[in-house]
Structure formats: structure tokens, C-alpha cells
Amino acid sequence: MSRRAVILAGGKGTRLRPYTLVLPKPLMPIGEYPILEVIIRQLVQAGFDHITLAVNHQAEIIKAFFQNGERWGIRIDYSLEDQPLGTMGPLKLIKDLPAHFLVMNGDILTDLDYTQFYDSHASEDRIFTISSMRREHRIDYGVLDSDASGLLCGFREKPGVSYEVSMGVYMVSARALQRIPVGRPYGFDNLMLDLLEARSPATVRPFSGYWLDIGRPDDYAQAIDEFESMKSRFLHD
């Protein structure tokens, strides 16, 4: 079965400055590999045969590194934005997308089963599927609850708040592309709100494995610390 992926690799990596002043974010190293190479190797192992890299910032450096994908035994081509188009806008520039395809950020470290994620979406013919993760945000302050007269009525010391968040890994149906405008920025948030308004909501698939967003400094530091000892979890020789 042919599997297609689009990797969003055009961001400026502002959260990782000053490192990304020299290297584009997808080429930030994790162990012996850039994070984008880890993703490409994972997709090859999952049976993908065609990857399009949606590039913008420092595109020539990314192209020089990955070229046509022959080194990894996969076809790699490129879609170049001449202006920032957000997360979903770049998909409108790619003319040969199939009925269902994977879309993901180029800075994700996860052990998600991409094959299962792809196949379950395609077999159910969903319009859009989001891989989600439960994360907890710890508030670094004592939180005060007071009433209308200003009297303390409750106190919580550094409470945690749990959220279900998008992992930046999606399965997309070609039907969803009809909602994406041409030539202007259009993000994941815009598409989700449009699908909700149309009463055709995305499907959310919770994931309980390993996931880090390398674009966040704390996650990047954790990935550097853990990758070598956990390498077999991400890459199978």
C-alpha cells in the first residue's frame, strides 16, 4: 500500500533561538541525527514511500541535506512557500495529494505507530484525524480563591492543570483541502473551527506513548538527554 506524507518544515524556530539562527529547526540535532532525519527514518520503517517537505525558512539548507531521499530509500520532493501560509495553507500548494495522507510538524519526537494511525483513518474514511496527548501544566504559584468581599475562600499550592493537546501529527482527507483558501495564511486552528462550524468535526485519537515538541526549549533539552538511551524505541535497525 502506497503511503504519502507531508512534513511541515518551514518554520523559523523562534522559540529555539539563538540555535536556529544558524540551523533550521528541523535540522537541530538529536543524538547523531537531525530531528527531521529521525522522522523520515521512522516513516520509511512505517511503509511510507513519498514525502513532501513543505519548506520556507532556510529551504536551501534543508534541500541540500535531504536531496531526493535516495539515501533513505524514499522519494522526497519539496513545496516552497514564497510567503508564510500557516500550518494548513501550504497543503494547497501541493497538487498531487491522494485521498488520505499524513501531515506532521518537522520537529516531533514520538514513538507513535504511524502505520496504524494512517490505516485506521483511511479505513474509516475520516475527514481529519488528530493524534493527541495528555499534558499537565504546573502553576508555580500558590493560587488564591477569594469571594466578592475579598475574603479568602480557598487556596491551592502550585496546582496542576491537565490538558489534551494536539501532537502536531494529523491524517488528512482530500475533502478537507476544499476548505483551505489559496494564497493566504490558514492555520490548524482555522481549519478546526471551520470543520466544527460545518458540523464535520475532526476525530481525536489519544496517544499515551512518548512525545516531545522539539520546538520547545524544555522538550529539546529532554530529547537530547534521553534519545541515545531510548534510541531503539524510535528507530529499528
Catalytic residues: 158
What would the grid cell of residue 58 be? Answer: 532556510
Decide: 15 and 217 in contact? Cβ < 8 Å: yes
CA dist 168 and 173 (Å) reads 16
Q: For residue 183, with 0-12 CB atoms within 10 Å meaning exposed, 13-18 middle and 19 or more buried, which class applies?
A: exposed
What would the grid cell of residue 192 be? Answer: 478546526
CA dist 236 and 90 (Å) reads 31
Decide: 206 and 132 in contact? Cβ < 8 Å: yes
Q: For residue 128, with 0-12 CB atoms within 10 Å meaning exposed, 13-18 middle and 19 or more buried, which class applies?
A: buried
Decide: 101 and 4 in contact? Cβ < 8 Å: yes
Decide: 174 and 122 in contact? Cβ < 8 Å: no
219: three-class secondary structure by DSSP: helix
Decide: 109 and 210 in contact? Cβ < 8 Å: yes
Sequence-ordered list of residues with C-beta below 8 angstroms from that of 236, at least 6 positions apart, any chain: 45
